[in-house]
Amino acid sequence: MLNNLVMIKSQEYELLDAIAQDSLVTQASLSARLGMAVGSVNWYIKRLINCGYIKVSHLERTRLKYQLTPEGMSILTQRTLLYLKRSLTVYNDLRQKAKAIVTDLRSQGVTHVCLEGEEIGKMINGLIRSLGESS
């Protein structure tokens, strides 16, 4: 699926994501939420409609409902999977670097290290535990 990834602009992805979360969202609320001018929101929505990623229906004279099409949902899913894949790659790279550092520190006889930051501390503690189990 990621081999045929259709590239869309980040603003388009953010709009697709926001519409997926709330199909009754207004262009004004999208503008405020995404930090875009209302005119830009309108332009991107028209573009997404023309691309076949969303469809719009009138609920009332001035009220619209936006829905992702199957193609729009596919694009949103592809981008989300790509983000997750990249995030896991970064995490695994950092984990390998941390493993090398921990291994080097152990070989130097270092038994205690003070880390700043809760998330990195959790990652390093988990890494040390896994090294202890595999050693």
Residue 114: exposure state from Cβ atoms within 10 A (0-12, 13-18, ≥19) = exposed
Q: What are phi and psi of 65, to 5 degrees?
A: -125, 130
User: Of the given ranges (13-17, 31-35, 58-62), which has the lowest mean pLDDT?
Assistant: 58-62
> Tens of pLDDT along 18-33?
999 999 999 999 999 9
Beta-bridge partner residues of 65: 57
Q: How confident is the model at residue 134 (pLDDT cuts 50, 70, 90)?
A: very low
Domain 2-74 has CATH 1.10.10.10: yes
Q: How confident is the model at residue 5 (pLDDT cuts 50, 70, 90)?
A: low
Q: Give the H/E segment covering residue 54.
A: strand 54-58
Measured CA to CA, the distance from residue 17 to residue 43 in angstroms comes to 16
Neighbour tally for 105: CB within 10 Å: 13
Calculate what percentage of the chain has a pLDDT beyond 90.
52
CATH 1.10.10.10 residue ranges for the chain: 2-74
Predicted confidence at residue 1, as pLDDT, reads 45
Predicted confidence at residue 111, as pLDDT, reads 82
> Tens of pLDDT along 79-109?
889 889 999 999 889 888 888 888 898 899 9
